[in-house]
Each structure stands twice: as C-alpha cells, then as structure tokens.
Amino acid sequence: MPITARGEYTLDLVADDGTYTLDTGNVGYIPEKILLANLIDANGTEIPLTEMDTQRWYALGDKTVTSATPVNFHSRAKVSGVGTEFHVWPVPSDTTYDVKMWIQYKLRDVDAITDDIWISQEWYMALSWGLAAYIAPKFGLTVTERRQLMETAQELRFEAENSQPGDSVFIQPDIR
C-alpha cells in the first residue's frame, strides 16, 4: 500500500533559467509529484501557475522563450540520475519571483529512534493503533483486547485510505 506524505517547498527562481532539479540536496527528499505551484512576486502575492502535461510541454516549439512572468510549470522524474526536473515557462527574465510548491513524496525509512515519521495527518491514528495492535502480545494483552485493537486499527486505516486530503471547501452565501 503506497503511503505518501506532502510538504511545501519554496524555490528561488534565477533569471534566464527555466529548469531546476528538486532532490534531497535542496528539498530534503525526492518529490514524486508536484501537486500545486504558485508564483510569488516581490510583494508576496501568490499567483497560481498552470500545470502543463507532458504532451503540452513537448509540443512547445521553444522552451527558452523568456518573459517577465512565468505562467506555467511542468515536472517529471529525471531521465538520468535521481531527482525531479521542474520547469517554468516562459523562462523568467529577472529574479523577482519565487515558486511555492506543494509536493507529494514517498516516505523515507525510519531506522533510528531520532528519525521523524513522515506521513500525512490522516494516517497518524491508523499508524498508532496498528503499532499498538502489533506490540500488544509483548505486553500481555488478552486475545479479546488485541482483537479490539486490530478492529480499531482497521477502521482507522479504512478512513485514512478513503480520505481526500487537500480537497477544497467551497462556501457561498445562500442568495435565495
């Protein structure tokens, strides 16, 4: 079962550079997918960037066209090496912009007691109850008590698997 985590990263754009590598060296982990990306101007205003799928990206005749304001982004796993290529288009002609992005990434191994567990919030309770059920025999819990732990862990796992984190809530006034 793939469990992913989500994080936020801000990339400083460089004039006349439209391609960046995102990996453990700058982001801290290797992004699996860029969920959203916003351009941040000098005043801190966030402007949503439009994601270009692979077909649209490769259909661009000139990927080096420059403009004062990028409006699109494209990302993909690097063909050679480790990391994710992140492209903005048109290529920024100055350095007044940053990009704030929300990234999905695979969980890293937890092999030391000082390591943090990188999971999305929806999974914390499922993980906690699952671990409790796993170690229950070492603490002498009865079969009935262990069964109750397992049932709760399974219910929480079902809830986590079927949650839709990041969905938007749309609220509007009743104009009747």
Identify which of 113, 104, 151 has the alpha carbon closest to the alpha carbon of residue 129: 151
Q: What is the pLDDT of residues 99-131, one digit of tens each?
A: 999 998 877 667 777 776 667 677 889 889 999
Identify which of 109, 128, 107 has the alpha carbon closest to the alpha carbon of residue 118: 107
Give first-to-last CA distance, the chain, whole Å: 46
- Residue 73, H or E segment: strand 72-77
pTM, two decimals, is: 0.65
| Calpha distance 8→99 (Å, rounded) | 10
**Residue ranges of domains in the chain:** 4-106, 121-161
**Stretch 76-90: mean pLDDT, rounded?**
88
Task: Specify the long-range contacts of residues 39-44, CB closer than 8 Å, at least 24 apart.
Answer: 39/69, 39/70, 39/71, 39/97, 39/98, 39/99, 40/10, 40/97, 40/98, 40/99, 40/100, 41/96, 41/97, 42/96, 42/97
Identify which has the larger pLDDT, 44 or 117: 44
Q: What is the pLDDT of residues 55-82, one digit of tens each?
A: 999 999 899 999 989 999 999 988 777 8
